[in-house]
């Protein structure tokens, strides 16, 4: 979360940006259609989703056991396992690994977990040149920008902007042809891959039984990062463990289809231990950093099902609010419905993150799309309840509630309040809408317009027609 993020300003900027509006509509609708079609190919979709949900449920219910199993297996394969309590510790561990192996040049794959711990700037500050190698992330890094989607990080950027950026930063001839832009990036990245002595990957799944780390990607950059540098560091949230290879197969089937609408990504890298004698590629030293960062607290509380999340991004594409305002308006690493639900828990000390659940319109589209059927709307309502409980002690809240209760606890007072509210609304309405209310109602109308109520009340109609309107 950006410390001084202004939600209203960011939302207005997004809504008033015609390019963004068109790009969001096209990309999210197209992606959702592709996801729906590719999932429809599964004859046993309902059952597969239920199985995936059970696997996650089992794993999260036995997380300590599964993580211990994974750690033992990894160590038996020669992998060094590190446990990071929070983002700062994770950064320190990774910088230490780089220093121990005397690494100076790092290439990394796209990873939301490394975004969560703000790893890339920390490595660069520590003197380890770190380059994002996913095309979208590379462009964002060149432009000092942040991802606005979990899976499609530069959904908000036009190819004209990218052409201009490559001209300014890479001194390339201006072009806006996607193939030519990709070729320019590939040329520059190739050099970085050759120089790299450290690779960093975000781990999508880790198999406890076999100690395999799975990195899913479409561009081949993950294959280069896992094959070329002598030192490789995997980073994962502690919920990314799956018990067995059989469970992995179920998860991959749903994850890839839900994320990109494909049966399989172009590259599914499965790394089981460091390079063995006789093998021609792979890291000589393999480390895994397992991140907690408040996940233990989430595990112990009413929001534990959020740890079932695969980070597929399907709920973002389905969400009507995300489709309108895009990821930057949230001001968080994880935007959209999953971001609104999990950020207040990952960043519990940040008061701003409490507001995120209010972004939800409770339409339920995310629940329908989520491959592991996380009840995001239910959890967002729970957040809203928690916030109300927390604010109940404030004097203002108590005053508003007492006045409200006084009016609503008597039919006569209720009718009186309705009558005057309607009069007031008519006085200030413009074209049938109330767009401004005096304080404290101004908090409401700053972000919502209220339609004028009908002239005739249902109650009067009922009375007039004897209950048969
Ligand atoms: S909540 Fe569900 S749909 Fe959203 S990112 Fe996580 S797994 Fe995907």
Q: How far is the CA of 466 from the centre of ligand 1 (A)?
A: 50
Confidence bin at 390 (pLDDT 50/70/90): confident
Confidence bin at 250 (pLDDT 50/70/90): very high
Partners of 288 in beta bridges: 81, 234
Confidence bin at 66 (pLDDT 50/70/90): very high
pLDDT value for 1: 64
Please write the tens of the pLDDT for every residue from 86-98: 999 999 999 999 9
Does 45 score more than 90 pLDDT?
yes
Pocket test for ligand 1, best of 311, 367, 379 (most atoms within 8 A of CB): 311
* Average pLDDT score over residue span 133-157: 95
Q: Which of 79-93, 243-257, 347-361 has the lowest mean pLDDT?
A: 347-361
Instruction: Give the contacts of 387 (CB within 8 A, at least 6 positions apart).
Output: 354, 357
CB hemisphere CA count around 302 (13 angstroms)? 10
Nearest residue to 380 (alpha-carbon basis) of 405, 418, 353, 398: 353
pLDDT value for 469: 62
Please write the tens of the pLDDT for every residue from 281-330: 999 999 999 999 999 999 999 999 999 999 999 999 999 999 999 999 99
Spell out the SS3 assignment of 294-316.
CHHHHHHCCCHHHHHCCCCCHHH
Q: 294 and 345 in contact (C-beta within 8 Å)?
A: yes
Looking at the CA of residue 258, tell me the nearest atom of ligand 1.
8
CA angle (390 as vertex; 388, 394 as ends), nearest 5: 90
What is the C-alpha to C-alpha distance for residues 98 and 104, in angstroms, rounded to an integer?
7
Please write the tens of the pLDDT for every residue from 98-122: 999 999 999 999 999 999 999 999 9
Look at ligand 1, atom 2, and give the residue with the nearest C-alpha: 370
| Alpha helix stretches (DSSP H) within 213-244 | 221-227
Does 267 score more than 80 pLDDT?
yes
Looking at the CA of residue 376, tell me the nearest atom of ligand 1.
1
3-state secondary structure (DSSP) of residue 20:
helix
DSSP 375: -
pLDDT value for 348: 79
Q: How far is the CA of 371 from the centre of ligand 1 (A)?
A: 7
Does 392 score more than 80 pLDDT?
no
* 1 against 352, higher pLDDT: 352
Tokens of 227: 């094959």
Look at ligand 1, atom 6, and give the residue with the nearest C-alpha: 309
Confidence bin at 173 (pLDDT 50/70/90): very high
Does 394 score more than 80 pLDDT?
no
* Average pLDDT score over residue span 355-379: 94
What is the C-alpha to C-alpha distance for residues 226 and 216, in angstroms, rounded to an integer?
12
Confidence bin at 439 (pLDDT 50/70/90): confident
Q: How far is the CA of 411 from the centre of ligand 1 (A)?
A: 45
Q: 109 and 134 in contact (C-beta within 8 Å)?
A: yes
Q: 359 and 321 in contact (C-beta within 8 Å)?
A: yes
Look at ligand 1, atom 4, and give the residue with the nearest C-alpha: 315
Q: Which pTM was predicted? A: 0.88
What is the C-alpha to C-alpha distance for residues 328 and 447, in angstroms, rounded to an integer?
18
Q: How far is the CA of 257 from the centre of ligand 1 (A)?
A: 12
* Average pLDDT score over residue span 344-373: 91
Looking at the CA of residue 150, tell me the nearest atom of ligand 1.
5
Instruction: Give the contacts of 308 (CB within 8 A, at least 6 positions apart).
Output: 53, 56, 57, 60, 239, 372, 374
3-state secondary structure (DSSP) of residue 287:
strand
Q: 229 and 263 in contact (C-beta within 8 Å)?
A: no
Q: Give strand ranges (E) for 28-76.
A: none
A 10 A CB-CB count for 457 gives 14
Residues with CB under 6 A from ligand 1: 258, 309-315, 338, 369-372, 374, 376
Q: Return the CA Rg of the chain.
A: 25
Looking at the CA of residue 318, tell me the nearest atom of ligand 1.
3
- State the chain's mean pLDDT as an integer: 93
Question: Quick one: 58 exposed, middle or buried, by C-beta within 10 A (0-12, 13-18, 19+)?
Answer: middle
Q: Which of 126-135, 346-355, 359-368 has the lowest mean pLDDT?
A: 346-355
């Amino acid at each position: 979360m950006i410390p001084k993020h202004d939600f209203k300003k960011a939302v207005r900027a997004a809504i008033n940006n015609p390019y963004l509006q068109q790009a969001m509509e096209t990309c999210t609708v197209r992606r959702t259609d592709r996801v729906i079609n590719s999932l429809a190919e599964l004859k046993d979709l309902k059952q597969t989703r239920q199985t995936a949900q059970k696997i996650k449920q089992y794993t999260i219910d036995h997380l300590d056991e599964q993580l211990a199993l994974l750690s033992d297996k990894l160590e038996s394969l020669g992998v060094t396992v590190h446990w990071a309590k929070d983002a700062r510790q994770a950064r320190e561990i990774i910088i230490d690994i780089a220093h121990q192996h005397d690494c100076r040049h790092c290439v990394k794959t796209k990873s939301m977990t490394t975004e969560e711990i703000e790893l890339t700037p920390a490595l660069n500050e520590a003197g380890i040149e770190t380059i994002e190698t996913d095309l979208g992330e590379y462009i964002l890094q060149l432009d000092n920008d942040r991802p606005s989607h979990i899976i499609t990080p530069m959904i908000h950027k036009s190819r004209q902007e990218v052409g201009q950026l490559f001209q300014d930063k890479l001194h390339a001839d201006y072009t806006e042809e996607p193939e030519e832009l990709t070729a320019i990036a590939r040329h520059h990245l190739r050099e970085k891959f050759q120089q790299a002595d450290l690779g960093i990957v975000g781990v999508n799944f880790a198999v406890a039984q076999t100690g395999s780390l799975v990195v899913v990607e479409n561009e081949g950059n993950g294959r280069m990062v896992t094959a070329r540098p002598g030192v490789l560091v995997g980073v994962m949230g502690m919920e990314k463990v799956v018990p067995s290879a059989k469970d992995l197969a179920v998860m991959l089937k749903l994850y890839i289809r839900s994320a990109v609408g494909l049966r399989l990504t172009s590259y599914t890298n499965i790394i089981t231990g460091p390079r063995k004698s006789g093998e021609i590629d792979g890291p000589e030293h393999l480390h895994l950093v397992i991140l907690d960062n408040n996940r233990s607290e989430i595990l112990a509380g009413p929001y534990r099902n959020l740890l079932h999340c695969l980070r597929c991004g399907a709920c973002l594409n389905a969400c009507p609010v995300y489709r309108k305002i895009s990821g930057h308006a949230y001001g968080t690493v994880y935007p959209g419905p999953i971001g609104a639900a999990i950020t207040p828990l990952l960043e519990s000390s940040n008061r701003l993150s409490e507001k995120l659940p209010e972004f939800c319109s409770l339409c339920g589209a995310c629940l329908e799309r989520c491959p592991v059927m996380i009840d995001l709307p239910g959890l967002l309502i729970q957040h809203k309840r928690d916030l109300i409980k927390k604010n109940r002690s404030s004097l203002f809240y108590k005053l508003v509630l007492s006045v409200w209760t006084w009016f609503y606890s008597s039919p006569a007072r209720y009718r009186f309040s309705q009558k005057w509210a309607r009069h007031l609304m008519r006085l200030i309405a413009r074209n049938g809408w109330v767009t401004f209310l005096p304080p404290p109602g101004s908090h409401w109308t700053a972000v919502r317009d209220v339609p004028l109520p009908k002239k005739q009340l249902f109650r009067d109609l009922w009375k007039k027609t004897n209950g048969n309107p």
